[in-house]
Structure 1
Amino acid sequence: MNPIWKAVIGLSALIVAANCLNCRKCSVGVFGSCFFGSDVTCDNATQSCYSGEAKFNATGFLTLQTRGCLDSDLCGLTLTGSLLNAAYTSTFSCCTKDMCNGATSVQLSLTVALGAAVLSLLSGFWEL
Protein backbone atom coordinates (compact mmCIF):
# COMPACT_ATOMS: atom_id res chain seq x y z
CA MET A 1 0.00 0.00 0.00
CA ASN A 2 1.19 3.50 -0.79
CA PRO A 3 2.76 5.24 2.28
CA ILE A 4 0.50 8.25 1.74
CA TRP A 5 -2.62 6.07 2.05
CA LYS A 6 -1.22 4.46 5.18
CA ALA A 7 -0.74 7.93 6.68
CA VAL A 8 -4.28 9.00 5.70
CA ILE A 9 -5.81 5.85 7.23
CA GLY A 10 -3.74 6.23 10.40
CA LEU A 11 -4.68 9.90 10.78
CA SER A 12 -8.35 9.08 10.19
CA ALA A 13 -8.24 6.46 12.94
CA LEU A 14 -6.73 8.99 15.36
CA ILE A 15 -9.39 11.59 14.54
CA VAL A 16 -12.18 9.05 15.06
CA ALA A 17 -10.68 7.94 18.39
CA ALA A 18 -10.29 11.56 19.49
CA ASN A 19 -14.00 12.21 18.82
CA CYS A 20 -15.19 9.42 21.15
CA LEU A 21 -17.07 10.64 24.19
CA ASN A 22 -15.63 10.05 27.68
CA CYS A 23 -18.17 9.39 30.42
CA ARG A 24 -18.31 8.40 34.06
CA LYS A 25 -19.41 4.80 34.52
CA CYS A 26 -21.22 3.54 37.57
CA SER A 27 -22.56 0.00 37.59
CA VAL A 28 -24.37 0.34 40.93
CA GLY A 29 -25.07 3.43 43.01
CA VAL A 30 -27.16 3.69 46.16
CA PHE A 31 -27.98 6.79 48.25
CA GLY A 32 -25.90 9.00 45.95
CA SER A 33 -22.70 6.93 46.23
CA CYS A 34 -21.36 4.99 43.27
CA PHE A 35 -19.98 1.49 43.84
CA PHE A 36 -17.55 0.16 41.24
CA GLY A 37 -17.20 3.51 39.42
CA SER A 38 -14.72 4.27 36.65
CA ASP A 39 -14.22 6.38 33.54
CA VAL A 40 -15.09 4.90 30.16
CA THR A 41 -14.55 5.88 26.52
CA CYS A 42 -17.73 5.30 24.54
CA ASP A 43 -17.69 3.68 21.13
CA ASN A 44 -18.36 5.73 18.01
CA ALA A 45 -22.03 4.67 17.87
CA THR A 46 -22.75 6.15 21.31
CA GLN A 47 -23.46 9.86 21.29
CA SER A 48 -24.38 10.49 24.96
CA CYS A 49 -23.34 10.05 28.54
CA TYR A 50 -26.27 9.18 30.80
CA SER A 51 -27.35 9.16 34.41
CA GLY A 52 -30.09 6.70 35.22
CA GLU A 53 -32.24 6.06 38.27
CA ALA A 54 -34.48 3.17 39.23
CA LYS A 55 -36.97 4.02 41.99
CA PHE A 56 -38.65 1.14 43.76
CA ASN A 57 -42.32 1.89 44.40
CA ALA A 58 -42.67 -0.42 47.44
CA THR A 59 -39.90 1.21 49.47
CA GLY A 60 -40.50 4.78 48.41
CA PHE A 61 -36.97 5.78 49.41
CA LEU A 62 -34.68 3.30 47.66
CA THR A 63 -33.20 4.63 44.44
CA LEU A 64 -30.49 2.80 42.49
CA GLN A 65 -28.29 4.88 40.20
CA THR A 66 -26.28 3.97 37.13
CA ARG A 67 -24.13 5.99 34.71
CA GLY A 68 -22.30 5.35 31.47
CA CYS A 69 -22.65 5.60 27.69
CA LEU A 70 -26.01 5.42 25.96
CA ASP A 71 -27.38 5.75 22.45
CA SER A 72 -29.16 9.09 22.13
CA ASP A 73 -32.39 7.36 21.04
CA LEU A 74 -32.82 6.06 24.60
CA CYS A 75 -32.35 9.42 26.32
CA GLY A 76 -35.32 10.85 28.19
CA LEU A 77 -37.15 7.51 28.38
CA THR A 78 -39.08 6.37 31.43
CA LEU A 79 -39.40 2.61 31.80
CA THR A 80 -41.32 0.51 34.31
CA GLY A 81 -40.82 -3.08 35.39
CA SER A 82 -40.38 -5.34 38.39
CA LEU A 83 -37.51 -7.08 40.12
CA LEU A 84 -38.33 -9.87 42.60
CA ASN A 85 -41.97 -8.69 42.52
CA ALA A 86 -40.94 -5.12 43.45
CA ALA A 87 -42.18 -2.57 40.91
CA TYR A 88 -39.74 0.13 39.79
CA THR A 89 -39.62 3.14 37.49
CA SER A 90 -36.40 3.94 35.59
CA THR A 91 -35.46 7.26 34.01
CA PHE A 92 -32.47 8.19 31.87
CA SER A 93 -31.11 11.71 31.42
CA CYS A 94 -28.31 12.39 28.94
CA CYS A 95 -25.62 14.92 28.13
CA THR A 96 -23.06 15.18 25.34
CA LYS A 97 -19.85 16.63 26.82
CA ASP A 98 -16.91 14.66 28.21
CA MET A 99 -17.51 13.54 31.82
CA CYS A 100 -20.79 15.49 31.99
CA ASN A 101 -22.51 12.72 33.96
CA GLY A 102 -20.04 13.07 36.84
CA ALA A 103 -20.33 10.76 39.82
CA THR A 104 -18.32 10.18 42.92
CA SER A 105 -17.05 6.67 43.50
CA VAL A 106 -16.83 4.66 46.66
CA GLN A 107 -15.02 1.35 46.44
CA LEU A 108 -16.82 -1.20 48.62
CA SER A 109 -16.85 -4.93 48.42
CA LEU A 110 -19.54 -6.59 46.32
CA THR A 111 -20.95 -8.22 49.46
CA VAL A 112 -21.44 -4.88 51.22
CA ALA A 113 -23.00 -3.24 48.15
CA LEU A 114 -25.41 -6.08 47.48
CA GLY A 115 -26.24 -6.41 51.17
CA ALA A 116 -27.20 -2.74 51.40
CA ALA A 117 -29.39 -3.00 48.29
CA VAL A 118 -31.14 -6.18 49.50
CA LEU A 119 -31.77 -4.75 52.98
CA SER A 120 -33.28 -1.62 51.47
CA LEU A 121 -35.54 -3.72 49.24
CA LEU A 122 -36.63 -5.98 52.08
CA SER A 123 -37.48 -3.05 54.34
CA GLY A 124 -40.17 -2.07 51.83
CA PHE A 125 -41.69 -5.57 51.95
CA TRP A 126 -41.85 -5.54 55.76
CA GLU A 127 -43.85 -2.31 55.69
CA LEU A 128 -46.53 -3.80 53.43
Structure 2
Amino acid sequence: MNKLMWGCVALVGLFAVAESLKCNTCTVGLSSLCFIGSTAECSTDQPNCFTAEAVFNATSIVNLKRKGCLATAFCNTTSTGSILTAGYTVTQTCCSTDQCNGAVAIQLPLTVALGSALVAIWSTFT
Protein backbone atom coordinates (compact mmCIF):
# COMPACT_ATOMS: atom_id res chain seq x y z
CA MET A 1 0.00 0.00 0.00
CA ASN A 2 2.82 2.46 0.83
CA LYS A 3 4.50 1.87 -2.55
CA LEU A 4 1.22 2.55 -4.34
CA MET A 5 0.69 5.77 -2.38
CA TRP A 6 4.22 7.07 -3.11
CA GLY A 7 3.83 6.09 -6.75
CA CYS A 8 0.63 8.16 -6.98
CA VAL A 9 2.30 11.13 -5.27
CA ALA A 10 5.22 10.96 -7.71
CA LEU A 11 2.84 10.72 -10.68
CA VAL A 12 0.80 13.73 -9.51
CA GLY A 13 4.04 15.67 -8.95
CA LEU A 14 5.18 14.84 -12.48
CA PHE A 15 1.91 16.10 -13.97
CA ALA A 16 2.09 19.29 -11.88
CA VAL A 17 5.58 20.05 -13.22
CA ALA A 18 4.61 19.12 -16.78
CA GLU A 19 1.58 21.42 -16.68
CA SER A 20 3.47 24.55 -15.59
CA LEU A 21 3.30 27.29 -18.17
CA LYS A 22 6.38 28.87 -19.64
CA CYS A 23 5.85 32.60 -20.04
CA ASN A 24 7.88 35.43 -21.47
CA THR A 25 8.91 37.96 -18.85
CA CYS A 26 9.68 41.62 -19.23
CA THR A 27 10.46 43.58 -16.10
CA VAL A 28 10.99 46.91 -17.86
CA GLY A 29 9.44 47.60 -21.24
CA LEU A 30 8.71 50.77 -23.19
CA SER A 31 6.33 50.53 -26.16
CA SER A 32 7.41 47.37 -28.01
CA LEU A 33 10.93 47.19 -26.52
CA CYS A 34 11.80 44.99 -23.56
CA PHE A 35 14.85 46.11 -21.61
CA ILE A 36 15.01 43.33 -19.01
CA GLY A 37 13.37 40.14 -20.30
CA SER A 38 13.62 36.36 -20.27
CA THR A 39 11.33 33.35 -19.85
CA ALA A 40 9.96 31.86 -16.64
CA GLU A 41 8.09 28.78 -15.53
CA CYS A 42 4.92 29.76 -13.67
CA SER A 43 4.09 28.47 -10.20
CA THR A 44 0.76 27.05 -9.05
CA ASP A 45 -0.18 30.32 -7.29
CA GLN A 46 0.54 32.30 -10.48
CA PRO A 47 -0.58 29.90 -13.23
CA ASN A 48 -1.23 32.41 -16.06
CA CYS A 49 0.96 34.29 -18.54
CA PHE A 50 0.16 38.01 -18.63
CA THR A 51 0.93 41.24 -20.40
CA ALA A 52 0.34 44.50 -18.56
CA GLU A 53 0.34 47.91 -20.21
CA ALA A 54 0.34 51.23 -18.40
CA VAL A 55 -0.79 54.15 -20.54
CA PHE A 56 -0.46 57.71 -19.27
CA ASN A 57 -3.66 59.72 -19.79
CA ALA A 58 -1.86 62.91 -20.92
CA THR A 59 -0.20 61.13 -23.82
CA SER A 60 -0.59 57.71 -25.35
CA ILE A 61 2.98 57.95 -26.70
CA VAL A 62 4.53 56.77 -23.43
CA ASN A 63 3.32 53.32 -22.48
CA LEU A 64 5.12 50.96 -20.14
CA LYS A 65 4.82 47.19 -20.42
CA ARG A 66 5.45 44.16 -18.21
CA LYS A 67 5.14 40.43 -18.89
CA GLY A 68 5.33 37.36 -16.73
CA CYS A 69 3.22 35.02 -14.58
CA LEU A 70 0.14 36.22 -12.68
CA ALA A 71 -2.48 34.96 -10.25
CA THR A 72 -5.90 34.34 -11.80
CA ALA A 73 -7.56 36.94 -9.54
CA PHE A 74 -5.58 39.73 -11.23
CA CYS A 75 -6.19 38.58 -14.82
CA ASN A 76 -8.09 40.68 -17.35
CA THR A 77 -8.38 43.70 -15.07
CA THR A 78 -8.06 47.43 -15.57
CA SER A 79 -7.03 49.88 -12.84
CA THR A 80 -6.20 53.57 -12.67
CA GLY A 81 -3.84 55.68 -10.59
CA SER A 82 -1.58 58.69 -10.69
CA ILE A 83 2.06 59.58 -10.17
CA LEU A 84 2.40 63.17 -9.02
CA THR A 85 -0.35 64.69 -11.21
CA ALA A 86 -0.03 62.33 -14.19
CA GLY A 87 -2.90 59.85 -14.41
CA TYR A 88 -2.46 56.40 -15.90
CA THR A 89 -4.47 53.29 -16.71
CA VAL A 90 -3.07 49.76 -16.32
CA THR A 91 -4.61 46.86 -18.25
CA GLN A 92 -3.56 43.29 -17.41
CA THR A 93 -4.42 40.59 -19.95
CA CYS A 94 -3.85 36.87 -19.32
CA CYS A 95 -3.56 33.76 -21.45
CA SER A 96 -2.93 30.11 -20.66
CA THR A 97 -0.65 28.47 -23.21
CA ASP A 98 3.15 28.38 -23.30
CA GLN A 99 4.66 31.78 -24.16
CA CYS A 100 1.27 33.10 -25.27
CA ASN A 101 2.13 36.58 -23.95
CA GLY A 102 4.26 37.45 -26.97
CA ALA A 103 7.90 37.18 -27.82
CA VAL A 104 10.61 38.69 -25.67
CA ALA A 105 11.59 41.80 -27.61
CA ILE A 106 15.06 43.15 -28.22
CA GLN A 107 16.85 43.72 -24.95
CA LEU A 108 18.79 46.93 -24.44
CA PRO A 109 21.00 48.02 -21.54
CA LEU A 110 19.11 49.67 -18.66
CA THR A 111 20.86 53.02 -19.26
CA VAL A 112 19.52 53.10 -22.82
CA ALA A 113 16.06 52.19 -21.52
CA LEU A 114 16.04 54.96 -18.95
CA GLY A 115 17.40 57.45 -21.46
CA SER A 116 14.69 56.53 -23.99
CA ALA A 117 11.98 56.82 -21.36
CA LEU A 118 13.22 60.24 -20.25
CA VAL A 119 13.40 61.52 -23.83
CA ALA A 120 9.86 60.27 -24.51
CA ILE A 121 8.52 61.89 -21.35
CA TRP A 122 10.45 65.11 -21.91
CA SER A 123 9.15 65.41 -25.48
CA THR A 124 5.56 65.45 -24.20
CA PHE A 125 6.26 68.54 -22.08
CA THR A 126 8.04 70.60 -24.75
Do both share a fold (TM > 0.5)? yes
- After superposition, give the CA deviation of every residue in 1:70-125 in whole Å (9 maximum; x if it has no partner): 1122122111112243211110111111111112322211111112112222322x
- After superposition, give the CA deviation of every residue in 1:7-59 in whole Å (9 maximum; x if it has no partner): 43333222211111111111121121211111111101223211111011223
Structure 1 range deviating more: 3-12 or 96-105: 3-12
Q: Which ranges in structure 2 are unaligned for 5 or more consecutive residues?
A: none
Identity %: 42
TM-score (norm 1): 0.85
**Which residue of 2 is the match for residue 89 of structure 1?**
89
Which letter does structure 2 place at the counterpart of 1:107? Q
Which letter does structure 1 place at the counterpart of 2:70? L
> Structure 2 matches for 1:31-110, cutoff 5 A?
31-110=31-110
CA distance in 2, matches of 1:82, 1:103: 29
CA distance in 2, matches of 1:31, 1:4: 53
**Which residue of 2 is the match for residue 119 of structure 1?**
119
RMSD after superposition: 2.0
Secondary structure of the residue aligned to 2:46 is coil
Which letter does structure 1 place at the counterpart of 2:117? A
CA distance in 2, matches of 1:25, 1:60: 23
CA distance in 2, matches of 1:118, 1:86: 15
Q: Which ranges in structure 1 are unaligned for 5 or more consecutive residues?
A: none
